[in-house]
A and B are shown apart, each in its own frame.
Chain A
């Protein structure tokens, strides 16, 4: 039996058990849907923030994937597949964390590259200046020698 079918059966069984126990009713179901909707929307707005953060465009694929998952979650929510929605949302949360880590790493990498470039430039300038200094000293000695 496919896991999805199994999960649906499990959900139905749980709901039936809960209903039989006189615990939850339809309004409680509606509250869960709202909660999931709220989470999806929160994450979507988070995606926009992530896009803004990713000014170096280092993780466009990851963001696209995250957006697709959120769309999937939304679709699942519409089908009242709440467990699956939660799974997708958990995954999206982890993905968002990954994206943040990658963006931070990317920025740090860029910063490191800048430092490296600056160091390289300085080294080049040092080498150039050292040569110029050596040339100048040599030229000065030659001139002093010829002047005497």
Chain B
């Protein structure tokens, strides 16, 4: 038993003399000491590093001396100081880094500002170029549009002008046809050239209808045909109309002459036809005394009236025929009657009648108007007849 106690005691002594397990704090410290920045840290914080190393060495000694509590305490302290030194080193490194970063940031900022200015400038230029292109495009488009518009307007104007020209020409043709038709109407073409006049009227109506439908070519053609028809109608109707008109005028004039002649007081007036000729005979009975070639007094009024009548109707040729009764030689009676006609011519000439219109003749006892058996009849046959001749 005593031997066992002794062996146990020796074993305990051996165990007590052996190196104890390294404290965890010392392990941590030693691990930290392997940090690559220790050298740098010792330059920046030499006192801290020195203190740390001193504490670390003492901790190892204390551990090896089995003074574990002291070893742990010193290792912890060494660790703290070492970490502090490293933290200080990190501060310095960070300050340097911040300084470098600040410089880099400033350079970058400067570069960025420069680039931004260049970009703004180029963007402005680009915008100007784009605007220029847009303006150019817009101008080109405007030019094209205006050109097209102008072309269209010109075409429209030309078409309108052409249409107006055609319309005007058509209107002129129609007016010409209308005028030709009116002209035809003045010569009563509807009466004397009925077919042509109707055709002209129809074609003119057709031309009017074609005008309303803007068929100017058709209207022109129709108007031309209408004019031709109207001209032809005029050509046909004119002589007929003029002839009729002349006849009417002559008839009216003859009637007027007749009316005026019948109105002369103291004269015997009669109408008679000999062949184609119409004769208005104004007889002034008892104008002469028997066998006398000169005009008996008291006939100034009737002679003046006859003279005025002749002057009023200047287109009629006038015959002055002297007559006698049947008492006497025929040759004498003819001479007396001729003298009597001449005496009346002279009387009329003194009253302003142109003598070139007057023709005189003496018929003696021919063509008695009254009975020569009676004195009164013979006196009346001593007469002069003033004859207006017409068709």
Chain A interface residues (CB < 8 Å from chain B):
2-4, 87, 90-91, 94-95, 97-98, 101-102, 104-105, 108-109, 111-112, 115-116, 118-119, 122-123, 125-126, 129-130, 132-133, 136-137, 139-140, 143-144, 146-147
Question: Would you list which residues of chain B between 47 and 97 have a CB under 8 Å from chain A?
Answer: 67-70, 73, 76-77, 80-81, 83-84, 87-88, 90-91, 94-95, 97
Task: Determine the distance from Cα of A115 to Cα of B102 in the docked complex, in whole angstroms.
Answer: 7
- B243 part of interface (Cβ distance < 8 Å): no
Contact, CB under 8 Å: A90 / B125: no
**Bound complex: CA A112 to CA B76 (Å):** 30
Q: Cβ of B91 and Cβ of A104 under 8 Å apart?
A: yes
Q: Is B139 an interface residue (CB 8 A)?
A: no
Alpha-carbon distance between A94 and B119 when the two chains are bound, in angstroms: 56
The answer to whether B172 has its CB under 8 Å from any CB of chain A is no
- Taking CB atoms, residues of chain B closer than 8 Å to A132 are 119
A contact residues around B132 at 8 Å (CB): 147
- Asked if A133 meets B91 with Cβ closer than 8 Å, knowing A98-B83, A115-B105, the reply is no
Which residues does chain B contribute within 8 Å of A133, judged by CB atoms?
A: 115, 118-119, 122
Give the contacting residue for A98; candidates B84, B102, B125, B126; CB below 8 A: B84
Q: Given A108-B95, A115-B98, verify A122-B123 contact (CB < 8 Å).
A: no
Interface residues of B (CB under 8 A from A): 67-70, 73, 76-77, 80-81, 83-84, 87-88, 90-91, 94-95, 97-98, 101-102, 104-105, 108-109, 111-112, 115-116, 118-119, 122-123, 125-126, 129-130, 132-133, 136
> Chain A's nearest CB lies how many Å from the CB of B66?
9
Q: Are A122 and B105 in contact, with the CB atoms below 8 A?
A: yes
CA distance A116 to B99 in the complex (A): 11
Contact of A122 among B81, B109, B136 (CB under 8 A): B109
From B73, B94, B123, give the contact of A87 (CB < 8 A).
Answer: B73
Smallest Cβ-Cβ distance to B76: which chain A residue: A91
In the complex, A123 Cα to B105 Cα: how many Å? 9
Instruction: From B84, B122, B129, give the contact of A147 (CB < 8 A).
Output: B129
Whether B91 pairs with A108 at a CB distance below 8 angstroms is yes
Known pairs A119-B101, A122-B109, A125-B112; A101 contacts B77 (CB<8 A): no
- Cβ–Cβ < 8 Å partners of B105 in chain A: 115, 118-119, 122
The smallest beta-carbon distance between B137 and chain A, in angstroms, is 9
Bound-state CA distance A118–B148 (Å) is 60
Chain A nearest CB: distance from B81 CB in Å? 6
Complex: A137 Cα to B119 Cα, angstroms: 9
CB distance A136 to B108 under 8 Å?
A: no
Take A95-B80, A126-B108, A143-B129 as given contacts and tell me if A112 and B91 are in contact as well, using a CB distance cutoff of 8 Å.
no
What's the nearest-Cβ distance from chain B to residue A136, in Å? 4
Whether A108 pairs with B104 at a CB distance below 8 angstroms is: no
Closest 6 CB pairs of A and B: A101-B87, A115-B101, A108-B94, A122-B108, A3-B69, A98-B84
Asked if A98 and B87 sit within 8 Å, CB to CB, the answer is yes
* A2–B67 CA distance with the chains assembled, in angstroms: 7
A112 contacts B87, C-beta separation under 8 Å: no
- Tell me whether B119 and A129 are in contact (CB under 8 A): yes
Minimum distance in angstroms from B71 CB to a CB of chain A: 9
Given A108-B95, A119-B101, A143 and B126 touching (CB < 8 A)?
Answer: yes
Whether the Cβ atoms of A112 and B69 lie closer than 8 Å is: no
A112–B112 CB distance below 8 A: no
- Is the Cβ of A105 less than 8 Å from the Cβ of B87? yes
A-B CB contact pairs (8 Å), 10 listed: A98-B81, A101-B87, A104-B91, A105-B94, A115-B101, A119-B101, A119-B104, A133-B118, A136-B119, A140-B129
The reply to whether A112 and B119 contact each other, CB–CB distance below 8 Å, is no
Q: Which residues of B contact A129 (CB under 8 A)?
A: 112, 115-116, 119
Whole-angstrom distance between the Cβ of B44 and the nearest chain A Cβ: 11
Q: A119-B105, A122-B108, A140-B126 given as contacts; is B91 within 8 A of A101 (CB)? A: yes
Q: How far is the CA of A130 from the CA of B115 in the complex (A)?
A: 7
In angstroms, Cα B123 to Cα A146, docked, is 18
Known: A101-B88, A143-B129. A90 touches B77 (CB 8 A): yes
Q: How far is the CB of A116 from chain B (nearest CB, A)?
A: 6
Q: CA separation between A132 and B73, bound complex, in Å?
A: 63
Q: For A137, list chain B residues within 8 Å (CB).
A: 122
CA distance A3 to B59 in the complex (A): 13
Which A residues lie within 8 Å of B98 (CB)? 108, 111-112, 115
Across-interface contacts of B67 in A (CB, < 8 A):
3
Measured between C-beta atoms, what is the minimum distance from A17 to chain B in Å? 22
Q: A98-B81, A105-B88, A112-B101 are in contact. List 17 more A-B contacts (CB 8 A).
A: A3-B67, A3-B68, A4-B69, A91-B80, A98-B87, A102-B83, A108-B95, A112-B94, A118-B101, A122-B108, A122-B109, A126-B108, A133-B122, A139-B126, A146-B133, A147-B132, A147-B136
In the complex, chain B residues whose CB is within 8 Å of the CB of A94: 77, 80-81, 84
Q: A residues within 8 A CB of B136?
A: 147
